[in-house]
Chains A and B, each alone.
Chain A
Amino acid sequence: MSLLEVKDLRVHGPARELVHGISFSVEPGERLGLVGESGSGKSLTAMSTVGLLAHGLRAEGSVLLDGQQVIGKPDRALVPLRGPVAAVVFQDPRSALDPLMKLGEQLAHPIRRRAKREGRSLSATALRAEQLRWLDRVSIADPERILTSWPHEVSGGQRQRIAIAMALACGPRLLIADEPTTALDVTTQAEVLDLLDTLARDEGLALLFISHDLPVVARITDRVIVMQQGRAVEEGPVHQVFTRPRDAYTQGLVAAAQQLEAAVRGMQ
């Protein structure tokens, strides 16, 4: 059984349809990329898979997450799936963070929930050790200070990594990550990508990875879907799509990425 199976997903906005029937599936341990135009419906598609569409939007079609239908379910029924089955890193890391709660306390929540789920008791010392371990895994240099900071007291990239740590600490089988590394310098980004690799290899973590950064998508995913104006215009193994794109939009996208890269290489 697929971990996530999306069939003919449509998202309706207040005035018009925004996503026009998209279908795909993610197997356990598989890593799927979602790329494409700004406003093409990548975030809406991702949010629909966990029933987190904003007020005023409505999903239609079928989304099976670990075999359970998500569309039309009340939020109450979806809460048990969020975390253990699928965890989300939002495009805006701030929306994942409570501005009125210190970061250490926020990170403690998923760690406690997971321990409870797995029937482990968690001493204060063990909790602290886990908090520090997660911050270390996302390459945060001064974890002690960060744990006692408020969300507005850390940098954009630090916030983004804490959001990643919180999502991973849930112990999900699928990580939905919407532009998770935009605020990271390339060395820190490489470390975070290595961490995702390790989790995929050792724990069978599956990924739905959204990014405008084609080289990053090529590095971290196996298969990719290209979206344009609410539709999937191309899908295939990432290496194939990025070296031999068939669709005209994808061809333009790949050419633009190659040109940017050539421009930098030309200066080196």
Chain B
Amino acid sequence: MSLISLKDVQFSYGDTPILHGVSLDLQQGESLGILGESGSGKSTILRLMLGLTRPGSGVVTADGSPLDTRSRARMQAHRRFAQPVFQDPYTSLDPRMKVRRILIEPHAALDLPGDAGAEAARVLEAVSLPADSLERYPRAFSGGQRQRIAIARALIARPRVLLADEPVSALDLATKVRVIELLTELSREITLVLVSHDIAIVAALCPRMIVLQQGRIVEAGKTAEILRAPQHPYTQRLLASLQHMPVETP
């Protein structure tokens, strides 16, 4: 079943064209990784999928029908359907709200079932943050801790699709592995769209991937196949630029 699709989407900021004829289809259970050059339009694709912005031409379809960003009711339903984790965990958390309110507010705003307090505790535990985090403000957390708060806030809606922009980039390896495990577990119920520069994360979580360069998809397909035999020169260059752990020299 198709969850979200983009069909021949063009997008510009003012006179600057950003996306050129992007088409993709997110199938349930087939998490999608988006890799690509900085500035190539990855976050813009997520914004289109979230309905935060409209394509210049082409169609964004979600949950079976075109996404009408002007309809309040449709957007409310869409927020239950698809939740974001933004690239900048600092700025996406309201500094005046305690974590409790950050988590409980979407629960109320989206009219979600269940007890908000219990749900807040559930998601906090899911991202390995202590329960007393609820009474603290975002500024009292480290970079990686804030990133986990942002993930917790997205999870509270129990969305069908999680659109995550570099969700683990600020995490240490142990936490990263835990979050990957968490996302893997969730990906049975939630399909991910994962923007990441970290090829290992995409490989671990996403059976399919696309590679974006200057607003165009230059490669798309099964992650395992692309990693084994990248076709496009840009993808080849990307894989060749990976840094490696030092090895013991005898």
Contact = CB atoms under 8 A, between A and B. Distances in A.
B39 A189 contact: no
B247 to A, nearest CB: 7
Interface residues of B, number: 50
A257 interface: yes
Interface string A206-218: 0000001111101
A255 to B, nearest CB: 9
Contacts, number: 145
Contacts of B87: 156, 183
A212 B171 contact: yes
Interface in B128-158: 139-145
Interface residues of A, number: 55
B43 A156 contact: yes
Contact of B139 (A54, A94, A213): A54
Interface in A157-183: 157-158, 161, 179, 182-183
B76 to A, nearest CB: 25
B242 to A, nearest CB: 6
Contact of B245 (A13, A95, A214): A214
A182 B36 CA distance: 14
A261 interface: yes
A256 B177 contact: yes
B203 to A, nearest CB: 6
Interface string B32-55: 000111110001000000000000
Chain B CB within 10 A, most for which of A155, A239, A253: A155
B228 A268 contact: yes
A242 interface: yes
A92 B242 contact: no
Interface stretch (B20-28, B182-190, B233-241): B233-241
B132 to A, nearest CB: 10
A187 interface: yes
Contacts of A244: 248
A243 interface: yes
A110 interface: no
Contacts of B242: 186, 215, 264
Contacts of B203: 263-264, 267
A157 to B, nearest CB: 3
Interface of B: 13, 16, 35-39, 43, 87-88, 90-91, 139-145, 165-166, 169-177, 197, 199-200, 203-204, 223-224, 227-228, 237-239, 241-248
Given A187-B37, A212-B173, A264-B200, 15 more contacts: A13-B140, A37-B175, A39-B142, A154-B39, A156-B166, A179-B169, A185-B35, A187-B237, A187-B241, A188-B37, A213-B243, A215-B243, A215-B244, A218-B245, A258-B245
23 contacts: A36-B172, A38-B143, A38-B171, A38-B172, A39-B141, A43-B143, A54-B139, A155-B38, A156-B38, A179-B169, A182-B170, A185-B238, A214-B245, A215-B244, A219-B243, A239-B246, A243-B248, A256-B173, A256-B177, A260-B200, A264-B200, A267-B203, A268-B239
Question: 6 nearest interchain CB pairs?
Answer: A157-B38, A38-B144, A215-B243, A182-B169, A256-B173, A92-B90
